[in-house]
Amino acid sequence: MFAYYFQLGLRSLRRNPILTALMVMAIGFGVAASMTTYSVFRATSNNPIPQKSSQLFAVQIDNWGPEDNDKGEPASSLNYTDSIALMKAHKAKRQTALYPVGLAAVPADANLLPFRTNGYAVYGDAFPMFDMPFLYGGGWSSAEDDGHAAVVVIARSINDKLFNGANSVGREINLDGHNYRVTGVLDSWDPKPLFFDPVNTSGFDDPVDLFIPFTRAIELKMSTNGNNNCNKNPGDGWDAWLHSECIWAQFWVEAPSKADVDTYRQFLQGYAAEQQRAGRFHWAPNVRTRDVMDWLDHQNVVPAESKISLLVAMGFLLICLVNTVGLLLAKFMRRAPEIGVRRALGASRREIYGQFLIEAGTVGLAGGLLGLLLTGLGVFGVSLVFDPKIARLATLDASLVALTMLVAVLATVLAAFYPTWRAAQVQPAWQLKSN
Amino acid sequence: MMQIKPILAALKRHKAGTILIALQIALTLAIVCNALFIIQQRVDRLSRPTGMIETDLMAIQNRWVGIDDEATAPLVKADIQILRSLPGVEDAVSTNSFPLRGGGWSMGVRLNPTAKKPITQTTLYFVDDHALPTMGAKLIAGRNFRADEVVTIDPKVFESSPVVIITKALADKVFPDGSALGKQIYITEGAPSSTVIGIVERLQVPWNGNFANKFEGNSTLLPIQLSGNFSAYLIRSKPGQLASVLKAAPAALFKANRMRVIPSERGVRTYADVREQAYKSDRGMAILMGIICVVLLAITAAGIVGLTSFWVGQRRKQIGVRRALGATKHDILSYFLTENLLIGIGGVVVGAMLAVGMNLWLMQQFEMARLSPVYVIAGVIVLLLLGQGAVLAPAMRAARVSPVEATRSV
Amino acid sequence: MLKMTHLSKVYRTEVVETYALRDFNIDVKEGEFVAVTGPSGSGKTTFLTIAGLLETFTGGEYHLDGVEVSHLNDNARSKIRNEKIGFIFQAFNLIPDLNVFDNVEVPLRYRGMKSAERKKRIMESLERVGLASRAKHYPAELSGGQQQRVAIARALAGSPRLLLADEPTGNLDTQMARSVLELLEEIHREGATIVMVTHDPELAARAQRNVHVIDGQVVDLAEDPRFHAHVAQVAEATHGR
């Protein structure tokens, strides 16, 4: 029966080519618009570390107080004092303070120009915490953290550039005029969005090139390559700034279980209370821990453009569906006499339902194919609307192709329910009269 | 026009079709209004002037390698000398940032040094006496900096400058009576004051995001060269010589000192590129919304044509009867136009409410501005006209139905 | 009232020309009740559509109420249909989307009549056909006979000088047919001119005068052999049932 209905559907579609074309175009455009924008939304709202996203927490401590914080919400970064205190307390399974550093790598070959790198100053815990894969070697030890060691972990791309891809563990590189010993080379690792620092990046910037110890960076008085926010004048010089309430560091902890998170939050609460008692905070403890996805959401990593265009595209699809309901209604009711005769010849309501829903599915299939074509064009064209860094994340992969077809067919069949119900209400008759 | 009541009566018998068309019009109106509004906002934003003369202007972003932050000042000075003496270069200046660069320094402006809250925000441009001629910013009161006023300062110890030049927007905000010239302002809480020695007509801040909308014209120029490993150079070429300077400038800089990084992306740009990159997503959004509007209107029109054609087809007989009973062609035409107008009015009433609701929601979620009623009115007119246009062809077909149809039994 | 002389109607396609009416002559006086009879395909319905200005004709002359109509444009023809002619169709042709009241109102609307006047006339003509109580009903809720009486009310509401009826009882059973016919006779007695097309000799007999159409021409009853053949046919068909 399915094949018969499918055949009937195709024939009926050929009978009113204009009406059919209108429907196919409406569905095609609607599906393409929503799928294109969805491809961007999917990329930007991606979970970059699904295996651990609920075990990693960004820490916030309100060191500015109710007058300067954002409607009660603690700032998104910590100052040096709090970062170091939390590192020293060592209350989580693993923890790291981190901040971006913009170092220039100076190739040993004097004919080559220095080039700029995207680096982060971190603690050795960061490598196992963030599940970074190593091609050669590994991270550095806590002893090296404590010793402000001049060590570095470089990305594969940097290793390829400086060492032609050879195992460079133990060799040295020159960053901003200082030498660092390579302890490890990362395999390809480029989480999108860059979950551990959405504060200083859009989340979709170029991949991280290298990591150096936080303690070493501070010793060399490297200021942050990201945002530095002060609620009051920090005073003159490096030391005054370092020990001010200016905030510029991110702090992450790993807490494998619910109990661990609770314990850590209690610790933070206690720490803030202690600061209040010591007279540094003049307000009640105000701390937060947010896991990866919460944090990305809180930092609005999904660009407003992406949300608005997804929203508009959904509205667009809805209109296309309303349009389709109308056109299907017209198409089906035009065949009321035929339906009457079919009913008289013994077709049950159920069979009328089957016939017309399958016909609608055929329209949906055609619309889906058109939609696929247009989605391809759309994905190709998203760089028009979005930052190229984000646009390149939108791809027409197998799952998007499947989703496009599924949405097209499902949406059309859904749209066909009312027209089909109306068609099934036609009484059996030999009537071939109008009116 | 006399037939509104019977048309309504007839529509009541075709609820589904009527509701579908009205709903489609309503949703289309809601989206088109908001999309037009977004387009207008984005176009507004990207047509804002920077206050600079943007032709024959370029920017270089430079970072020193392996040099202590404190030791960069003479290097920058040397760079600027090289740039100014290049053939084809009119003038050049070293600055921490420039309009539309994206990153910069902002501070609160106070009249009372101990006031808890500043009056407004301003961006700080650390420049020298060549800034105004290089940028092409127009001084409308007071004077430019003198070369002897320019000093080099470590950003970590910066607090204020004895003299500043501010934009008219900032001057008007802080001194609404227009008396800014010669007055004292405070740009750092608790630090010494700065005297306003000049006012420029306009100079945009480095940011073009929503957060900077409130102070997008509030800029302060200071006769200070910041030490540190980053600096940006703005270069004005002699008319028409930008292309050659674009190549010559970075080459000359590398020749002088190779311990620097000028990123391949965004390191050397004409100002036209700076503007284009800064507003890329605004322009893209406007284009996207434009496309969506056009396609949406087309689909809605096609839907109306489709459904009305079907109605005309279904009612051929009664059209014939009406004609037999004395309806003129014009009566039939106006019947269908009026019918569509009634459905359209129903649709736009709901649509206008949806449009406002959608805008309120967007305002809440994305800091969007309030939808001006002009857009709703424009959208209503566009959709009603679209409906009338779409229904015209099927209605004319209906008017051509011969009265003799009334006598046909099928 | 209605006078056709040498009237012809030709349907042309690319291959053939078909004469629906040929040298058709008829003269209906004011106040007459004329039945036009003939076998199906004889051209009697074509005659009616031309008489009712629903269609144009190819040659000859047609005077309606003293006016030669062949030169009138579409609007003028609509106006005449609206003001001078009332139609009663075999299939009733009520507008299904409108209730009884609104259906009767249709021609009055096109006449641009004031609302109060319209209402008065509608109720009068509905009372006349005995359906005033059904004003709010929709056609689908009425029996065939009731529907035809609404159609007659609609035709009467505009006080037309000429009433054209096309097989007015064709879709009705005998009893309903009789009541509709009585209504027509009553209208005629009040002074209306009625031209009724039918192939039912019994119905035709109730008219003052019969005009017979065969092969697109009016024929003399007594002399034309084709008529006798037709009568025989009808008789056979009637008895055969």
Q: Where are the domains of chain A?
A: 2-45+303-434, 56-298
Residues of C in contact with B331 (CB under 8 A): 78, 110
Residues of B in contact with C99 (CB under 8 A): 9
- The DSSP secondary-structure symbol of B113 reads T
In B299-358, the residues whose Cβ lies within 8 Å of chain C are 317-318, 321-331
Q: What is the pLDDT of residue A435?
A: 36
Q: Does the distance separating the beta carbons of B281 and A333 come in below 8 Å? A: no
Q: What is the pLDDT of residue C223?
A: 56
- What chain C holds in terms of domains, given with CATH numbers, is 28-46+73-239 (3.40.50.300)
Q: Does the distance separating the beta carbons of C82 and B326 come in below 8 Å? A: yes
Of C48, C87, C99, the CB nearest to B325: C87
Q: Examine the pLDDT at B410 and tell me if it is beyond 50.
A: no
d(CA A52, CA A94) in angstroms, rounded, equals: 13
Interface check for A112 against chain B (CB to CB < 8 A): the answer is: no
d(CA B349, CA B333) in angstroms, rounded, equals: 24
d(CA B226, CA B73) in angstroms, rounded, equals: 8
Q: What is the pLDDT of residue C227?
A: 54
**Is B228:B94 a contact under the CB 8 Å cutoff?**
no
Of C97, C110, C166, the CB nearest to B10: C97
Interface test with A, best of B75, B210, B289, B299 (most A CBs within 10 A): B299
Q: Phi/psi zone of residue B11: left (φ > 0), alpha (ψ -120 to 50 degrees), beta?
A: alpha
Q: How many CA atoms, within 13 angstroms, populate the side-chain half-sphere of residue B132?
A: 24
d(CA A236, CA B158) in angstroms, rounded, equals: 8
How many CB pairs lie under 8 A apart between chains A and B?
A: 154
Q: What is the pLDDT of residue C241?
A: 40
User: How much is the mean pLDDT over chain C?
Assistant: 85
A65: exposed, middle or buried (Cβ count in 10 Å: 0-12, 13-18, 19+): middle
Q: What is the pLDDT of residue C236?
A: 55
d(CA A416, CA A410) in angstroms, rounded, equals: 10
Q: Examine the pLDDT at B54 and tell me if it is beyond 90.
A: yes
**Is C116:B27 a contact under the CB 8 Å cutoff?**
no
Q: What is the pLDDT of residue A14?
A: 78
Q: What is the pLDDT of residues C168-202, one digit of tens each?
A: 888 888 888 888 888 889 889 988 899 999 888 88
Q: Which chain B residue has the Cα nearest residue A220?
A: B68
Average pLDDT over residues C100-104: 90
Q: Examine the pLDDT at A62 and tell me if it is beyond 70.
A: yes
d(CA A325, CA A3) in angstroms, rounded, equals: 24
- The DSSP secondary-structure symbol of A70 reads B
Of B157, B261, B284, the CB nearest to A386: B284
Q: What is the pLDDT of residue A15?
A: 76
Q: What is the pLDDT of residues A87-137, one digit of tens each?
A: 999 999 999 999 999 898 988 887 888 888 999 999 999 999 999 999 999
B342: exposed, middle or buried (Cβ count in 10 Å: 0-12, 13-18, 19+): middle
Average pLDDT over residues B163-192: 92
Compute the nearest-CA separation of B340 from chain C (Å).
Answer: 16
Residue A303: name the closest of B280, C140, C141 by CA.
Answer: B280
Show which subunits contact C, needing at least 3 CB pairs below 8 angstroms. Answer: B
Q: What is the pLDDT of residues B194-229, one digit of tens each?
A: 999 999 999 999 988 777 888 899 999 999 999 888
Average pLDDT over residues A4-13: 77
Q: What is the pLDDT of residues A315-349, one digit of tens each?
A: 889 999 999 998 888 888 888 877 877 777 777 88
Q: How many CA atoms, within 13 angstroms, populate the side-chain half-sphere of residue B259?
A: 15
Q: Which chain C residue has the Cα nearest residue B14?
A: C97
C52: exposed, middle or buried (Cβ count in 10 Å: 0-12, 13-18, 19+): buried
Q: What is the pLDDT of residue C115?
A: 87
d(CA B59, CA B93) in angstroms, rounded, equals: 10
Burial A23-59 (b: 16+ CB within 10 A, else e): bbbbbbbbbbbbbbbbbbbbbbbbebbeebbbbbbbb
Q: What is the pLDDT of residue B235?
A: 96
